Amino acid sequence: MRRTFTILVTSFRMALDELRKNRLRSFLSLFGITIGIFCIIAVLATVSSLDKTVHDEMKAMGASTVFIEKWPWGGGSNYPWWKYLSRPVPQYSEVRLVKQRADYAANVAFMYGGQANVEYGDYALTNIQFYGVTEEFNQIQSVDIGYGRYILPSEFSQGAPVMVLGYKNAEKLFDSAYIAVGKTVEVKGNRVTIVGVIKKQGSSLLGGWDFDNSYVVPFLFCTNLVNVRGNNGTLLAKSREGIPIDEFKGQLRGVMRSIRRLNPRQDDNFALNDITSGAGELNNIFSYMTIGGFAITGLSFIVGIFGVANIMFVTVRERTPMIGLKKAIGAKRRTILLEFLLESAFLCVIGGVMGIILVFLLTFMLTYVLHFTVSISIGLFLGAVFFCIFTGILAGIIPASIAAKMDPVVAIRSS
């Protein structure tokens, strides 16, 4: 054990001596390892952080929620909009029927989205997004309250003129969000009391509900603001725990067809949309990004392996007399082999550490620019270190074998 530790320390010192003696040559040779580690960790860290952020946002938007609407989600030049133009819009009255017939549904709500000005004294916010919702909306899509409270069941049933205001809107109207609670604003000639301020959400990659820049009112009060028979109504149904989303959608399809009284020959006149339907496509994109990162990394590591091997070949040639002397006084082949393999591995680890430092700097920049946290996991960090050690062993195996097989007499005379 002590001997092994001595070999480790000696190899590490030799690696540092090599870097000090030939700084430019060592730097250029290790640059491929540095770039390779930088590329793979940067890509994997960004992709994994992006994947986690997107899936967290999808979960927050309702991973087990089905949106029953007139239009299916999608777009592009091939979107057959003419097929859906004559479809009826979801109605508030259908909430009760879906709750009665869909036993897989834990909660059902109705939501109408629109825009209206919010006025307070001499200040006004124009064309602010609002959501007129029914009582179970908050059990489907959580609306976290930062100050005040959420809308009460009695206020939903009575269509009371109350609202919960988005954090940024509250700051714009009142400078400080916490003082907005209890204030009365005017919306389309209606005096509305702010009973709560929604907790600050921050920016979102998927857009989502954008509660920071919107407000929520009871649906029955919403009928005083706009004509809710437009195209902006949505039925939201959340499945019970343990029900697969496809099975839930299958039941909802049958329920909606019975509510709409469609015969077997008629096509669906509604769309069942869910957040997770785009998860497969997102996973494919992330996979392609990861493959691209590995391709770049592979090329960088090939260059790096040749660079480190070049250092080790030169090192073996420069230390030939020392190798002969060590073997002459009893050093075994495996000891010489181990020393050079460890030195090669240490050189690669040093190059990898340089790459990791660059990635840490990059994560701060990406977090600021992309508005989501880019982080390096411990597993990714340890994986990079072990990969550097493996690369070092691979790059140093031939030079180390040559050194281990040298004849001591010939090696000493080469000086």
Question: Please, are residues 219 and 112 in contact by the beta-carbon 8 Å criterion?
Answer: yes
Evaluate if residue 135 carries a pLDDT over 80.
yes
Binned at pLDDT 50, 70 and 90, residue 357 comes out as: confident
Question: Which residue type occupies 71?
Answer: W
Which residue has better confidence, 226 or 148? 148
Residues in CB range of 297: below 8 A, 6 or more apart: 36, 39, 40, 43
- Of 23-32, 104-113, 173-182, give the lowest mean pLDDT range: 23-32
**What confidence category does residue 298 fall into, taking pLDDT thresholds of 50, 70 and 90?**
confident
**Alpha carbon 174 to chain centroid, angstroms:** 34
Question: Is the pLDDT at 207 greater than 60, yes or no?
Answer: no
pLDDT of 107 > 70? The answer is yes
CA distance 50 to 373: 8
Q: What percent of the chain has pLDDT over 70?
A: 84
Instruction: Say if CB 215 and CB 169 are below 8 A apart.
Output: yes
Res 255: pLDDT: 94
Task: Map residue 300 onto helix, strand or coil.
Answer: helix
Residue 296 CB partners (closer than 8 Å, separation 6+): 39, 40, 43
| Cα(351)–Cα(343) distance, integer angstroms | 12
pLDDT for position 9: 66
Number of Cβ within 10 Å of residue 152's Cβ equals: 14
Q: Are strands 105-120 and 162-165 parallel, antiparallel or unpaired?
A: unpaired
Q: Measured in whole angstroms, how far is the alpha carbon of residue 239 from the centre of its chain?
A: 25
Burial of 330 by CB count in 10 Å (0-12 exposed, 13-18 middle, 19+ buried)? exposed
Angle at 337 between CA 333 and CA 338, to 5 degrees: 115
> Which residues make Cβ contacts (< 8 Å) with residue 123, sequence separation at least 6?
172, 173
User: What is the rounded distance in angstroms from the CA atom of residue 161 to the CA atom of residue 222?
Assistant: 9
* Most trustworthy range by pLDDT among 127-131, 317-321, 380-384: 127-131
349's torsion region: left (phi>0), alpha (psi -120 to 50) or beta? Answer: alpha
Find the mean pLDDT for residues 93-110.
93
For the chain, domain boundaries:
2-57+281-413, 88-269
The pLDDT assigned to 167 comes to 92
Contact 105, 288 (CB under 8 A): no
The model carries a pTM of 0.65
3 state SS of 391? helix
Q: How far is CA 43 from CA 27, 57, 89, 251, 292, in A?
A: 23, 21, 44, 41, 9
Does residue 104 contact residue 243 with C-beta atoms inside 8 Å? yes
Which residues touch 192 (CB under 8 Å, ≥6 apart)?
161, 162, 163, 184, 185, 186, 217, 221
Q: How far is the CA of 70 from the CAs of 66, 82, 362, in angstroms? A: 13, 12, 44
DSSP 194-254: EEEEEPP----SS-TT-GGGEEEEEHHHHTTTS-TTSS-EEEEEEEPTT--HHHHHHHHHH
Amino acid identity, residue 58?
A: M
Mean pLDDT of 225-238: 81
- pLDDT value at position 61? 63
Mean pLDDT for the chain overall? 82
**pLDDT category of residue 215 using cuts at 50, 70 and 90:** very high
CA 219 to chain centre: 34
Other CB atoms within 10 Å distance of the CB of residue 359: 25
pLDDT at 11: 59
Mean pLDDT to the nearest integer, 59-81 = 77
